[in-house]
Chain A
Amino acid sequence: QSALTQPASVSGSPGQSITISCSGTSSDLSVYNYVSWYQQHPGKAPKLIIYDVSSRPSGVSNRFSGSKSGNTASLTISGLQAEDEADYYCSSYTGSSTLVFGGGTKVTVL
């Protein structure tokens, strides 16, 4: 159960768009559309912001969008805001009745 691969950090200026990648293998991301993204502010519990690759839970800003191509999923944050500064984690079902998270990406708003 190797972790999915995310960049350690991504930064952008307010109003810009940024994209966080999440790379998996032929056993997880490329096979299943059970990809989720979580936002975690310091000292807080994670919050679900994208599920099933590209669906948004009720109440989550439409500035967050998800996609997938092959064995790589992506989270795009458009119109970057100061409150978006947080850690972001992707996750994927692996097909062996387990789930794997990415290593996390720290988003900095410049």
Chain B
Amino acid sequence: QVQLVESGGGLVKPGTSLRLSCAASGYTFSDFYMTWIRQAPGKGLEWVSYISSFDNTIYYADSVKGRFTISRDDARNSLYLQMNNLRAEDTAIYYCARIEGNWNFDYWGQGTLVTVSS
């Protein structure tokens, strides 16, 4: 069965960096586009970034453009999110999700919490 497991979250200070990972299993990772979505505590969902499967086309939300970098390693069945210059407003649970069809997120991980605080 499809499984996505995020890791790498934690408590960091403003202005610092963090790298999130998402380990995929149960399907052919290289065949699917992937995405990161976040959810601030008690708030709604916010789409963060997207990476395609064959040509690594990448998109970002304006709120993270220039600070976050999405990448993937198909050999390791893994998705990553490098987050630099973190701000308090980046505090959220970060989910990775598989994309099926037209921007449909059909499988989600359990999420990893990132807290940015001094």
Within 8 A of B (CB), among A93-110: 93, 97-104
What residues on B are CB-neighbors of A102 within 8 Å?
44
What residues on A are CB-neighbors of B47 within 8 Å?
91, 98-101
What residues on B are CB-neighbors of A103 within 8 Å?
44
1/0 per residue, CB under 8 A from B, across A21-61: the answer is 00000000000011010101000011110011000010000
Whether A89 is near chain B, meaning CB under 8 Å from some CB there, is yes
Q: Do residues A47 and B108 form an inter-chain contact, with CB atoms below 8 A?
A: yes
What residues on A are CB-neighbors of B110 within 8 Å?
45
Q: In whole angstroms, what is the CA distance A102 to B47 when docked?
A: 11
Given contacts A3-B44, A100-B47, A103-B44, contact A48 B61 (CB under 8 A): no
User: Most chain-B Cβ atoms within 10 A of its Cβ — which of A33, A51, A93?
Assistant: A51
Q: Do residues B44 and A34 form an inter-chain contact, with CB atoms below 8 A?
A: no
Chain B interface residue bracket vs A: 20 to 34
Whether A69 is near chain B, meaning CB under 8 Å from some CB there, is no
How many positions in chain A have a CB within 8 Å of any CB in the partner chain?
Answer: 25
What residues on A are CB-neighbors of B37 within 8 Å?
46
Q: Do residues B106 and A46 form an inter-chain contact, with CB atoms below 8 A?
A: no
Q: In whole angstroms, what is the CA distance A1 to B63 when docked?
A: 10
Task: Report which of B61, B62, B109 forms a contact with A45, defined as CB distance below 8 A.
Answer: B109
Nearest 6 CB-CB pairings of A with B? A51-B104, A45-B108, A104-B44, A34-B102, A99-B47, A101-B45
| B→A interface (CB under 8 Å) | 37, 44-47, 50, 59, 61-62, 95, 100-106, 108-111
| A→B interface (CB under 8 Å) | 1, 3, 33-34, 36, 38, 40, 45-48, 51-52, 57, 89, 91, 93, 97-104
